[in-house]
Amino acid sequence: MIDIIAMACLGIVGGVFTGIVPGIHPNTLAALIVSAGHSLLSVFSPEAVAVFIVASAVSHTFLSYVPSVFIGAPESGTALSVLPGHSLLLEGRGHEAVYLTVVGGIGVMVLSAALLPVLIYTIPVLYSHMKVYMGWLLLGIAGTAVLTERGVKRFYGALCFLLAGIMGVVVLKTPLLPSHLLLFPVFTGMFGISTLVFGLNSGASVPRQTLDIKGAGAAKSLAGVVKGFFSGLLVGIMPGVGAAQAGMLTHIMSRGERRGFLISLGGINTVAALFSLVALYVISRPRSGAAIAVQGVLETFGFRELVICVGAGLFAAGVAAIVTLRTSRVFASVIGRINYAKLSWATVVFLVVMAGWMTGAVGVLLLGVSSAIGMLAPLLGVKRSHCMGVLVLPVMMWFFSM
């Protein structure tokens, strides 16, 4: 038990690091753990190594919203948070945006743990019935998003979706970059750099941030948690469906309500790690990099291992929530004193350098193209969320056997 607790704490530290530093994904950390598995297993039990992986994955989902909201450096799971998060930041409420994602993460984790016995019996049924209709569901999500626009903007929304989708197909179907680095330049450009550059052109400035929290109210918070729960369930059981696609679904259901959407999005990212473990147990299908890594270090994944990993996830969520809020307070107290234009340009340069260092010339090229597509949406006056076609279209084609 001591080594399990120790590895859970170390996993939280790893998740905090990968969450705060843009471009470093917990799957990279999990892959390193698996590659060093023989050495680690000579010191720690397999359950302790699995706990490290789960704790780092869960804590990462909390901390990753801090750079996403405050400096516009998203990853696939947090990309949509840039939209309402950045608008709240420009109102002096960046800390509140992060707080709302924490509420969603904790709320959905607690709800999911309470319903774990029910999930064990219902997930196999949902998996067997939903996979036939998943392509149509994604098509409906994309179509509904376009129809929320008015007049000629529906055409512009469809255009942005298709351009992003074509890029996604090209990137995901050709071996341009290693799989664990593939989406970093794409989402950094499409939702990060494009947001920063557009903000610079519009003359926006970041005001001093308040630490007061308005919140979303009990009813909207509960609704956000429930939406996050069911959307995260899709991520956990359906192949090819990630937090980005589920986030687009909740974005449509939220109908422009920023606070409730941030609660749902925070819940989706966090609980997806837990649902992928349940899926590994009940249908023997890992649905995340963390679940694949856990499967790699454990000879069997039975009910005992599931309970240990879920307990580690709850422990990591509680600690990571506290760390996230304290880190957010630090960012909020500092960012309002910094010149926004200089900060934005410094962030753009940092992200370009990171893309070049991690992914080379190909990554920088992808960064430029994705930034241009991300800029197109606000220039045409449509929602940047249509750019989630970069993942929705390839996954839709996969379900339609295309």
* DSSP state string for 259-312: HHHHHHHHHHHHHHHHHHHHHHHHTS---SHHHHHHHHH-S---HHHHHHHHHH
What confidence category does residue 57 fall into, taking pLDDT thresholds of 50, 70 and 90?
confident
Q: Range of 88's domain? A: 2-399
In three-state secondary structure terms, 183 is helix
pLDDT of residue 69 exceeding 90, the answer is: no
- What does pLDDT average to over the chain? 79
pLDDT at 3: 79
pLDDT band at 179 (very low <50, low <70, confident <90, very high): low
Q: How confident is the model over 389-399, as a mean pLDDT?
A: 82
Give the pLDDT confidence score for residue 106 in this predicted structure: 92
Q: Using the predicted structure, report yes or no on whether residue 241 has a pLDDT greater than 70.
A: no
pLDDT digits (tens, 9 = 90+) for 7-40: 888 889 988 888 887 656 555 555 566 555 556 6
Instruction: For residues 283-289, give the mean pLDDT.
Output: 66
pLDDT at 286: 63
Residue scoring higher pLDDT (118 or 299): 118
More confident residue, 56 or 258: 56
| Percent over 90 (pLDDT), the chain | 7
Domain count, the chain: 1
Cβ-Cβ contacts under 8 Å for 94 (sequence gap 6 or more): 69, 70, 85, 88, 206, 209, 328, 331, 332, 335
The better pLDDT of the pair 236, 260 is held by 260
- Kind and range of the H or E element at 89? helix 82-90
Amino acid at 359: T
Burial 148-160 (b: 16+ CB within 10 A, else e): bbeeeeeebbbbb
Looking at residue 276, what is its pLDDT?
A: 78
Q: What is the pTM of this model?
A: 0.76
pLDDT in tens, 313-369: 899 999 999 999 999 998 888 887 777 777 778 878 888 888 888 788 888 898 899
